Structure 1
Amino acid sequence: MADNDAAATPAIEFHHLTGRVWVTPFHPDPAWIQPSVALVADERGSVLVDAGQSPAHAAEIQAALRAAGLPEPRWLVYTHHHWDHVWGACAWPGVEIVGHVSGADLLRAEAARPWSTRYLREQVRADPRLGPSFRARALAVDSWDDFTVRPPTRTFTDELELPTGVVVRHVGGHHAPDSTVVVDPASGVLLLGDSWYPPPLHLRPPDDGPDLALVRRLLTDDIGWYVSSHSPTMTLDEARAAVAK
């Protein structure tokens, strides 16, 4: 990749949000389609929320973990099956991958596709609406030689509580059928993933917008912080004000 491309990618760091929750920022350039990633750090076994959008992104996340002195994850939770949240999973060997049962079926189908730069080009020629997403994928993956899409190794249907007290809850919504939120009650943090966003661009009707009704259902006095994958983190008061607008 050219030097100016590398310079466009900011260094990844984990920032302490509150309690035992640490978060990396999302990429400020939406064309990169690089979401934030969170870690719920615990001596019993940390929980990583989303894998990174590529093996290279995952390697940067791993370096940021070491730099911050944070423990390696024991669990990796997918907020949903979209590529920018799961394509880094092949760089996380040994973790238990948790995801919704409907996402597991979708990811098994994704894993069977012959991912390569040539394949991406062919798909964009067939459907130009895929252009922004597939161009970002081509930029994100340095080599396809050892690349694999990993479905979850542990699935759930409605809700699952991990041994650290982290709660994984299916919410669905317009963005993806398997959209999942992750709650750390001990820290008062809810990780929204992309759950309230409209569908991906190539599937989005012209008048579709954020799913504010879903957000309203998730706002509660027990949670002080709301973290989305491609948007600034909000306090409860900020989230309520944003929904009210």
Structure 2
Amino acid sequence: MWVCPGEADPELVRAGVALIADERGSVLVDAGQSPSHAREIQAALLAAGLPAPRWLVYTHHHWDHVWGACAWPDVEIVGHASGADLLRAEADRPWSVRYLREEVLRNRRLGPSFRARALAVDSWEELRILPPTRVFTDEVELPTGVLLRHVGGRHAPDSTVVVVPDSEVMLLGDSWYPPPAHLRTPADEPDLALVGRLLDDTIGWYVSSHSAPMTLDDARRAIAG
């Protein structure tokens, strides 16, 4: 299992990406936040001698997890059914610097996210937002033994965790984070109760998209406060 951690600078909004590979094939978890970010990850995989992915899993539909998908060739994209409709709507929006500016003028709270998108994308003509080609509702196991489990939550309705039994790892995506900044209220906090429900003695590591990995003991201490 290989993990490219998320970007610490909040203005760049780069989610972490993982690759799970064995003789049965390889699974990419999240696509990168842009085609150029995806190409950076591809170069790192090549340098590390890791195989190209056969499956691409979306932990949820937010842009920093899926906008790189169009740069990954020959993959089956797997995601939760509720995210598919949301991504089809996103794909119909006229993404461009002009559109970003117009939307921010309509809703100033979109400013940080939309500025990050403008920084992320080198070519708007290249960008294509791709819904999953295979959807599931509750959980599904891929041919490699990787398990996808829908958990929902306040951050995104399609939030999915990815369990890698052979590595004793659970990839949490953004599932326990509060809602995105433009939707967040002062009362919104991290959903530690959701993490608590996910803790499992057979899983030794918990990896979130924008946070440092935690051991099982770390996670229990965090929940205990």
Instruction: Provide the TM-score with structure 1 as the length reference.
Output: 0.91
Percent identity over paired residues: 76
- 2-structure distance, mates of 1:237, 1:135: 37
Partner residue, 2:28: 48
- Cα distance, 1:164 vs structure 2: 0.4
Unaligned runs of 5+ in 2: none
Runs of 4+ in 1 over 3 A off after TM superposition: none
- Cα distance, 1:94 vs structure 2: 1.0
Read off the aligned partner of 1:244 and give its amino acid letter. Answer: A
- Cα distance, 1:209 vs structure 2: 0.3
Alignment size in residue pairs: 225
- 1-structure distance, mates of 2:145, 2:46: 24
Q: Deviations over 1:6-64 (max 9, x none)?
A: xxxxxxxxxxxxxxx11011111111000110010122210000000000000000000
- Cα distance, 1:163 vs structure 2: 0.3
Read off the aligned partner of 1:48 and give its amino acid letter. Answer: L
Unaligned runs of 5+ in 1: 1-20
1:31 partner SS: coil
Instruction: Provide the TM-score with structure 2 as the length reference.
Output: 0.99
Partner residue, 2:138: 158
- 1-structure distance, mates of 2:41, 2:137: 28
2:27 partner SS: strand
- Cα distance, 1:193 vs structure 2: 0.1
Partner residue, 1:218: 198
Read off the aligned partner of 1:125 and give its amino acid letter. Answer: L
- 1-structure distance, mates of 2:86, 2:5: 27
- Cα distance, 1:81 vs structure 2: 0.2
Read off the aligned partner of 1:178 and give its amino acid letter. Answer: D
| Aligned positions of 1:137-148 closer than 5 A | 137-148=117-128
Q: Deviations over 1:146-179 (max 9, x none)?
A: 2110000000000000000000000000000000
Task: Verify: 1:128 aligned to 2:94, yes or no.
Answer: no
2:140 partner SS: strand
Read off the aligned partner of 1:229 and give its amino acid letter. Answer: S
Partner residue, 2:220: 240
